[in-house]
């Protein structure tokens, strides 16, 4: 029973906060004139579908278990003064981030609009470099809260939804408007990822815009090929 209530709460929260479902509600209410009650019911149904699909994705990702901690890596963490609980928390947090980052990288491939956004912002290379930097300095985990818990998950979810909508066989003006709005938001989130990288790597925050551009160019120059994090030991 509690699980059902929690799921219903997730559906209401998603419907009321998701840009996609809000736009769908407005289209149904004002364009198709279904009335307030039925527009809300349809939007809730769509929200339920999105919540269900996301939960299925999360469950699928969670099946990729965290590997056993090697003696070498355990020694490395202990040299940083980390307790057993801190090590476990760090490894689980970074494992979740790795799965999201790999999914994000996959989402950016094959869709010209998303590929252009990623290339312009150098998002994957910056994100992977930041990921590796965190694994090398685990004591700085608290400095990347926004990257790990807000920016990376949000960007991954946004690209998930963009791909889903873009694959609709029938598209109308509202669909293209949603895609354009989503693309703009994705671009903004990519810029935030770049800022996360700069904040972690740089000691000079006087001009964030310049630092971000320098970071993009430096990553492109020093790393012509996208780094792999699949084999990164945690």
Within a 10 A sphere around the Cβ of 128, how many other Cβ atoms? Answer: 22
Burial of 161 (0-12, 13-18, 19+ CB in 10 A): buried
For the chain, residues with pLDDT lower than 50 are 1-6, 59, 61-63, 204-205, 224-225
Task: For residues 167 and 113, give the distance between their C-alpha atoms in angstroms, rounded to a whole number.
Answer: 13
Q: What per-residue confidence (pLDDT) applies to 77?
A: 95
pTM for the model: 0.64
Burial of 31 (0-12, 13-18, 19+ CB in 10 A): exposed
Q: What per-residue confidence (pLDDT) applies to 108?
A: 94
Nearest to 22 by CA among 4, 51, 42, 52: 42
């Amino acid at each position: 029973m509690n699980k059902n209530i929690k799921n219903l709460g997730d559906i209401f929260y998603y419907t009321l906060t998701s840009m996609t479902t809000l736009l769908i509600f407005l289209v149904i209410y004002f364009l198709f004139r279904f009335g307030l009650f039925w527009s809300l019911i349809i939007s809730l149904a769509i929200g339920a579908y999105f919540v269900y699909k996301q939960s299925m994705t999360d469950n699928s990702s969670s099946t990729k278990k965290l590997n056993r901690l090697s003696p070498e890596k355990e020694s490395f963490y202990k040299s940083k003064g980390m307790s057993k609980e801190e090590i476990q928390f760090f490894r689980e947090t970074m494992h979740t981030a790795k799965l999201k980052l790999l999914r994000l990288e996959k989402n950016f491939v094959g869709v010209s609009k998303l590929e252009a956004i990623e290339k312009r912002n150098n998002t994957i290379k910056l994100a992977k470099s930041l990921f590796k930097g965190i694994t090398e300095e685990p004591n700085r985990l608290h400095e990347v809260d926004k990257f790990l818990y807000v920016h990376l998950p949000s960007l991954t979810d946004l690209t998930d939804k963009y791909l889903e909508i873009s694959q609709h066989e029938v598209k109308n003006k509202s669909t293209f408007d949603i895609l354009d709005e989503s693309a703009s938001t994705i671009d903004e989130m990519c810029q935030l990822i770049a800022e996360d990288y700069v904040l972690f790597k740089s000691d000079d925050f006087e001009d964030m815009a310049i630092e971000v551009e320098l970071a993009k160019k430096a990553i492109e120059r020093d790393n012509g090929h996208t780094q792999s994090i699949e084999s990164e030991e945690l």
